[in-house]
Amino acid sequence: VPFPAFGSCSLVVLVSIINHFSIILLIHSFYHAPYGILKRIGVPHPHPVIPFFGNGLVVLKLGYVKVLEKWISENGKVFGYYAGTAVNMVVADLDMIKEVTVKKFDNFINAQKEPYAMSKVRRDNHIGSGLLFELDDDWKRIRRIVTPTFSSKKLKMMMPLIEKSCKTLNTVMEEISNKGQSFNILKLYNKFTLEVMLAVAFGSEVHLLKGEGSLLAEAAAGLFYDIDESIFVGEEILNSHFPHLSKLLNAMASKILPLSNHMKYINETSLQIIKSREGQLENTREKFNDFLQLLMDARAPDDENDSDSSSESRNKLTSNQIVGLCFDFMAAGYETTASTLAYTTYLLALNPDEQEWLCEAIDNYYQENEDASLYDASQNIPYLDWVIQEALRMYPPSPITIRVCNQTCTINGVTFLKGCNVILPIQYLHYSPEYWDQPYVFKPSRYLRI
């Protein structure tokens, strides 16, 4: 039936034009519109930009370390790229990094957004976000309360818990050495670090190095699985186009991941310990010198600029926030410590002269300070500090760190858009010949001049 006022041929032409126009709009919305932002604000960025993925496919293919090294050589020390349609900024200039992390830090308070699956597991178990993923003013408030917990005096209180595990580690390594067999030292350090973390965080003495175990240790070990960087990049790409679908998929994942059961068990155990200690007399609680007790006792000093500073709720932590901070403590300290110990041992094995000098430095210190604690020794043997710093330079726990811009600002002529991730390429800087002489050589003595 002919369309009114049009012939049948005219209708076909009109429908064809509309279809072609729709396709053009679709191509424009996926290809041109989202990918002109960096050009408009005058920020260089890598090409080509692939519709839907942006530059994300290259990150997935090469990984952060290789791709950032490639892009920095092509685009300079400050540039942007697209993950999906999301704008990311890379800053490899030291002066600019100082602006982001110190002088203009109020614009970059928040860290990378927590994966939605993890945040859902936290919410379902009523666990606080801790400091790793807390945001804005809540981050500032909790940090103000927690900071005094890391004073030298309070850290020393936890040293007896650490020294017990250190003595056990020495015994185990001596037994292995006497057998003359090879072994995986990272696995041994994993047990040692987890044993220390459980003792320091919860006051739970589990002798993992001696082969003992517990449900708490199994749950804690289950938290520390390798999260490939592709998960974060993939989620960022999906979020930029289909945020609701991304949340749905992550919510489904949170239900089937073993992580949920592990976090639930640790949360319930932590709350039981907190409740038990709260019911004890204050002089009885003094015997607990672990991180959990320090957080329970933590109280922020009154802030004259804060009208609500006298409020108990603002200056103290809730039980859920305490558990969240214990998760932070374990997450930040477990794999990072174990890998640092393993890489330091590896580098010393490859450099026997450095190993001999370190042993001599330690022996000389204890000859003059026979009763020194491990804490005092760690603070007063410069060469030990240099060795660890050099190991961390060559094998940093994370190749990058990320901050989120919370409001649009301009720094040294470069515009940072609200909501963009700001990536600081740690490993690239650690191997840059611009800042390090012979960056691929293990040279602890280089810190003598710093």
- What pLDDT, in 10s, does the model give residues 302-343? 454 555 545 555 678 888 888 888 888 887 888 889 999 999
Q: What is the pLDDT of residue 294?
A: 83
Q: Of 97-111, 154-168, 235-249, 253-267, give the range with the top mean pLDDT.
A: 97-111
- Is the pLDDT confidence value at 228 over 60? no
Give 216 or 13, the one with higher predicted confidence.
216
Tell me the mean pLDDT in the region 83-110.
Answer: 93
- Is the pLDDT confidence value at 6 over 70? no
Which residue intervals of 242-307 are DSSP H helices? Answer: 243-256, 258-278, 282-285, 291-297
Q: Do the Cβ atoms of 354 and 387 come closer than 8 Å?
A: yes
57-70 pLDDT, tens digit each: 888 888 889 999 99
The CA-atom distances, in angstroms, between 397 and each of 59, 68, 171, 419 are 19, 17, 27, 26
Q: What is the pLDDT of residue 71?
A: 96
Tell me the mean pLDDT in the region 274-297.
Answer: 73
Q: Of 63-67, 358-362, 396-400, give the range with the top mean pLDDT.
A: 358-362
Mean pLDDT of the chain: 82
Structure tokens at 55: 């530059």
The amino acid that residue 130 corresponds to is G
- Is the pLDDT confidence value at 173 over 70? yes
Structure tokens at 399: 């190749």
Q: Could you give the count of Cα atoms lying within 13 Å of 2 in the half-sphere of its Cβ?
A: 7
Q: Is 216 exposed, middle or buried (0-12, 13-18, 19+ CB in 10 A)?
A: middle
Q: pLDDT class for 255, splitting at 50, 70, 90?
A: low
Tell me the mean pLDDT in the region 360-368.
Answer: 94
Structure tokens at 247: 């949340």
Among the ranges given (9-13, 46-50, 106-110, 417-421), the one the predictor scored with the smallest mean pLDDT: 9-13
Q: What is the DSSP string of 187-239?
A: HHHHHHHHHHHHHHHH-----GGGT---HHHHHHHHH-----HHHHHHHHHHH
- Is the pLDDT confidence value at 238 over 80? no
Q: What is the pLDDT of residue 3?
A: 46
Q: What is the pLDDT of residue 66?
A: 93
Among the ranges given (150-164, 170-184, 249-263, 409-423), the one the predictor scored with the smallest mean pLDDT: 249-263
Query: Whole-prediction pTM value?
Result: 0.81
